Amino acid sequence: MYNLRVIFHQAYAELIQRPLFERLIYFMLRAYVENIAYRLFVFSILVFLLARLKMASPVTIVLAMVVSQCLNIGANVPHEAVTAQVFLYDTIRYVAPGVLWAWIYLRFGFVTAEVASVGCHVFLQPAFSILFV
């Protein structure tokens, strides 16, 4: 069976082996702060600028979602050699959820996006304990 841990960044691979309670606290706090920084501020500013420039369309708003999440990744994810596997993993693991949280924020508001983003770790971290440790 293929072990997905081989494509994890080293720091993340070490983190998911920590006790569940520590990971829950870490990832829930991180999700909370990331929503404030990258959804409430960065994404909102990008959408505001698009609206001011009269360039706000569904495509440019999705692009703003992707850009704000890529800024998040660039600031917070350890950088290692990028292979096709790592790029695919990072896209699925980091970009897709960030776009989802930005869409929820745009559609339902900040509090709902915050609850969804933080709350998902209550289910994800125990699942990661089973799958990857």
pLDDT in tens, 61-74: 999 999 999 998 88
Q: What percent of the chain has pLDDT over 70?
A: 88
Average pLDDT of the residues in 27-50: 96
State the pLDDT confidence band at 6, using cuts at 50, 70 and 90.
low
CB under 8 A, 24+ apart: contacts of 76-84: 76/30, 76/34, 77/9, 78/9, 78/10, 78/11, 78/12, 80/9, 80/10, 83/7
With 70 as the cut, is the pLDDT of residue 86 above it? yes
Q: Which residue has the higher pLDDT, 87 or 56?
A: 56
Tally of domains in the chain: 1
With 60 as the cut, is the pLDDT of residue 7 above it? no
Provide the residue range defining the domain that includes 110: 4-132
Q: Which residue has the higher pLDDT, 130 or 106?
A: 106
